[in-house]
Structure 1
Amino acid sequence: MLPEHAAQVLEIYRCGIDGGDATFEEAAPSWEVFDAARLAEHRLVAVDRADRVVGWAAVSPVSERCAYAGVVEHSVYVRPDAHGRGVGTLLLDALIASTEQAGVWTIQSGIFPENTASLALHRRAGFRVVGIRERIGRHRGRWRDVVLLERRSPTLD
């Protein structure tokens, strides 16, 4: 993911926000805010043959404490017109490979239970449900649950 991808990445993020089941966020941030919050070495885009960004994945540290140096939270977003074509799998597999190579031992994410496609994608990639955070936040006027998932690297101990 490079600065020249910014507009397309943020547009895909906005589509996810507009769909209502991807995030608590209400609006996509500026590129500067987005860029500062994610680790540069683990930001990926998938592009089609026309060089159009069709999806992205990125991670953020979960804590500045050194005990959590190998724990990240991730996001995967795919353009609505590219859903069901394997883009999410491609991005998540590449993200897992990238983080494992860097010594990350846990990737976590929170997913709304209504986002069944994302839950299935993560289960196929080896994520497990850690728990459900019930009524963790209000979103668009209603309480929302979040399924907490994690993937522990089998190659690191």
Structure 2
Amino acid sequence: METLKIRRAVESDAEAIAEIYNHAITTSTATFDTEEKTADERQRWLAEHGDNYPVIVAELDGEVVGWGSLSRYGERPGWKFTVENAVYVRHNCRGRGIGKLLLEKLIEEARMLGYHCIIAQVVGGNEASFKLHERAGFETAGVLRESGRKFDRWLDVILMQKIL
């Protein structure tokens, strides 16, 4: 029987995090990043997140198969109680509830850290992410029409939010 564990990310997870993210960069519009990230870049990114902006991983039988993060939403002081979430699951492990568990843990972490609002920026057409967030209680706050461009297409971004 497979064992799934959600835990805080550590430096040694950077390579797996980069691998999962790079697949999304090169094959999907889930992120507007267009350049692959190295494990070293992901290690620096992890260090920058610190305790107030956790990065978590899903480990299946000892192997990292997904990750999630809470990030600063805006630089100005008025945004300090709002965070943005990200959830990525390895392409061959999707549809197994891993994203749901990661998002649930991020919501729990956000509450414990005293945040008031979580924002998700979901690219139009990413039905899996939209449904994941909707099922977790996120509501659509607005749509930024044709605000991103990737793979020679203009893409909408659906702003979703959850008040904690």
Fold conserved between structures, TM > 0.5: yes
Give the counterpart of 1:6 among 4, 11, 14: 14
Does 2:53 match 1:45? no
Relative to structure 1, the CA distance from residue 98 to residue 4 in structure 2 (aligned partners, 3 Å threshold; closer, same or farther) is same
Partner of 2:27: 19
Instruction: State TM-score, norm by structure 1.
Output: 0.90
What secondary structure does 2:33 align onto?
Answer: coil
What secondary structure does 2:141 align onto?
Answer: strand
Higher alpha-carbon deviation: 61-70 or 26-35: 26-35
CA distance in 2 between partners of 1:33 and 1:139 (Å): 25
CA distance in 1 between partners of 2:47 and 2:19 (Å): 18
Partner of 1:66: 77
1:32 offset after TM fit, Å?
Answer: 4.3
Give the counterpart of 1:128 among 133, 139, 143: 139
Q: Deviations over 1:52-84 (max 9, x none)?
A: 101000011112322211101111000011101
- What is the one-letter code of the residue matched to 1:93? E
Q: Percent identity?
A: 34
What secondary structure does 1:44 align onto?
Answer: strand
CA distance in 2 between partners of 1:24 and 1:137 (Å): 7
Give the superposed CA RMSD: 1.4
* Alpha-carbon contact 1:39-1:58 (below 8 Å) kept: no
* Alpha-carbon contact 2:82-2:118 (below 8 Å) kept: yes
* Alpha-carbon contact 2:11-2:43 (below 8 Å) kept: no
1:43 offset after TM fit, Å?
Answer: 1.0
Aligned length: 152
Relative to structure 1, the CA distance from residue 130 to residue 78 in structure 2 (aligned partners, 3 Å threshold; closer, same or farther) is same
1:37 offset after TM fit, Å?
Answer: 5.2
Moved over 6 A (4+): none
Relative to structure 1, the CA distance from residue 118 to residue 37 in structure 2 (aligned partners, 3 Å threshold; closer, same or farther) is farther
Q: Give unpaired runs (5+ residues) of structure 1.
A: none
Give the counterpart of 1:102 among 107, 113, 120: 113
1:33 offset after TM fit, Å?
Answer: 4.6
